[in-house]
Structure 1
Amino acid sequence: MDSLFVERLAQRDEVEGRFCELFKEVQIMVGPQLEDESMERKLIVALKSDLVEKDLRIGELEEILQLRNKDYERLNDELISLNIENNILRDKLQNMTEENSKLVKRWLNKVQQEADAMNENLH
């Protein structure tokens, strides 16, 4: 029980230390430096500028995403059409193979009949 309690306290201290590190710089800026109104304005201008840059970057990334989605749709459509074409060609191949087999059988039957007729004439 005590070891669990000590472990939890150690975890809490670690999290608290990380939390303090995150806001150390902000605390410095919020401290006495920002009491001056001009510093506050400069900070606001800088933050607004950063926000505008981030908004522009978001817009660029959204455009890239839209282009990629269009490319994906186009490729998907092309893949579907190629699959359809492949299926049609397979059907044609199967039909041609069956027709070829029938023609070969008919030809072999005809040749066999001719051979039989020649053999009968010889006897």
Structure 2
Amino acid sequence: MPHARIDLHSSYRDRLPELSTAILAGMVKGFDMPATDLFQIFRLHEKGELVFGTAYPEPNREDIIFIEILASVGYGTAMKHQALVAIADEIENIGIPRQDLLLHVIEVPAGDWYSPGFAGVE
């Protein structure tokens, strides 16, 4: 049950629905998960609240969108990379440059999640 936390500038407010769709599509492709597994948190920030280098790892970053994926332990390194690339591809397809993205996966042991019906936990 991976879910995403996304921090981005408030200038993207009107694009949240398409960003949500793109992120979910990348997660579905990359993690081979059902499209109904939709859990996202968008946190909007004003200019100056997101601090980032404009030239690391590559030059010409004009903005930043931080995407943190929380996922159960067990996805292999290749699958996690595949998912992150798929998310970046989907976001680039809606016109946001991939160099403006910073994505990572945080793994959480299955016993550290709670949702009724998830993994037999009630």
Range into which the TM-score falls when normalised by the shorter chain: under 0.3
Answer 1 or 2: which has greater helix percent.
Answer: 1
Give TM-score scaled by structure 1 length: 0.17
Relative contact order (C-alpha < 8 Å, sep 6+): which is higher?
A: 2
Max Rg structure: 1
Larger strand percent? 2
